[in-house]
Structure 1
């Protein structure tokens, strides 16, 4: 059976001031078909149609991002049960505190995941983002193995927590279902932001290839290159394929 094609699109963080209809129109205009949305950060989609408005305007929603931190007492399970926008079958993105698998925090972590899973229908739809300041790669893998969660591979976040991002992506690949890419200088991920994806296509493609088959990949950037960034991803994932790290990236001549 042929694997389903990876959906490509944008993050609401790329255009937080657009209402639901205009945000969906932007995704379609640049050639995308899916959108990840961040809740609770003031992005305009929330108060101008929400998920229903986005879907009615013709885009798929790949996941809803939240600020929940697994293993952090500031985010009790009760809070997870009442979060807006969660629904069966729709992945929810969270963070995981360093130490979330320690014995003193494990029951809290499990309770949070249980509450979120009750809303999504499956613990695999609880996606833990690779992000600086939170759990390292080894602990993320342990969390997935023990609690059955999934991974949202954020390329910049991974580059900030792993000395070898491609190796780390391969380690997390069994649980990685979604990706979010950013254009940045891979030699300085802690300080570089919002560059066209073509400027760092090589390492980005290598990490995505190591992550394996993904359901969706979205672009989050303030760089004026959304159409070009989306086109690059569509090239890489054409006809259900996945990026090949050992072949030249499209538009290689544009690399800096």
Structure 2
């Protein structure tokens, strides 16, 4: 399976729904991932319907829900629909005996709206569940994973090995460039040079993916999408060079 390529709304939070779709298509992508309730302009300018009407596929919608944590923001109910994955976080300790029941109930509530636990995506993210617990969570509940390359680099000493370990459950990937020697700094950098090569290694270790999106504020989206198109040439559409921007 060859993944679709595209942008995250976090890469262009000021773009309305039509603008985010147009930017994605202009840069050679076909898909977007979205973050809900974060003030991104897509949500109040036509939302999911406007994005789809503009010709892009919506991969998933990210919510602030944290599995295994009692006091957590609920997923935005208007953006939960059958077949559309909901991306959430998982607290460290979410599979502990005294918290697994809560975690299962949270997953069941989401799964009932989005079409099963396989459409509940847990992000690899610093400050939340570590790699062994993410694996255990997937094995015990049937949820899948969103591979965030920066997040994985911050929770695993060898992200390539970790991606291979989690590969059976990784459905999507979200990439960004950062200082490979110091992922804890969190600074977004263009996805070029060694960062492009490293990203390719992690994505290859993750196996088959449904989509790969760029989430970056480095101001280099055109180049970042070009890197992904080089990694997955059969996914590429050809952007019009007269319209290509690095917005």
With the shorter chain as reference, the TM-score category is: over 0.9
Alignment of 1:144 with 2:106, yes or no, is: no
1:55 to 52, 57, 69: 52
TM-score calculated relative to the size of structure 2: 0.92
Deviation at 1:131, TM superposition (A): 0.3
1:228 to 215, 223, 230: 223
Q: How many residues align?
A: 235
Within-5 A mapping of 1:6-155 = 6-75=3-72, 79-80=74-75, 83-155=77-149
Q: Using the alignment, how far apart are the partners of 1:58 and 1:101 within structure 2?
A: 39
The gaps in structure 1 that reach 5 residues or longer are 242-256
8 Å CA contact 2:150–2:176 kept in 1: the answer is yes
Deviation at 1:75, TM superposition (A): 2.7
8 Å CA contact 2:117–2:141 kept in 1: the answer is yes
Select the structure with the greater relative contact order (CA < 8 A; seq sep ≥ 6): 2
Deviation at 1:186, TM superposition (A): 1.2
Deviation at 1:192, TM superposition (A): 4.1
TM-score calculated relative to the size of structure 1: 0.89
Alignment of 1:195 with 2:189, yes or no, is: yes
Q: Using the alignment, how far apart are the partners of 2:208 and 2:232 within structure 1?
A: 10
Deviation at 1:11, TM superposition (A): 0.3
Report runs of 4+ in structure 1 exceeding 6 Å deviation: none
2:154 to 153, 160, 165: 160
Deviation at 1:63, TM superposition (A): 0.5
Q: Using the alignment, how far apart are the partners of 1:149 and 1:234 within structure 2?
A: 28
Q: Using the alignment, how far apart are the partners of 1:167 and 1:92 within structure 2?
A: 26
Q: Using the alignment, how far apart are the partners of 2:182 and 2:63 within structure 1?
A: 26
Deviates more, 1:19-28 or 1:195-204: 195-204
Alignment of 1:171 with 2:179, yes or no, is: no
Instruction: Give SS of 2:62's match.
Output: strand
8 Å CA contact 2:4–2:235 kept in 1: the answer is no
Q: Which residue of the partner structure matches residue 232 of structure 2? A: 237
Deviation at 1:232, TM superposition (A): 1.1
The gaps in structure 2 that reach 5 residues or longer are 237-247
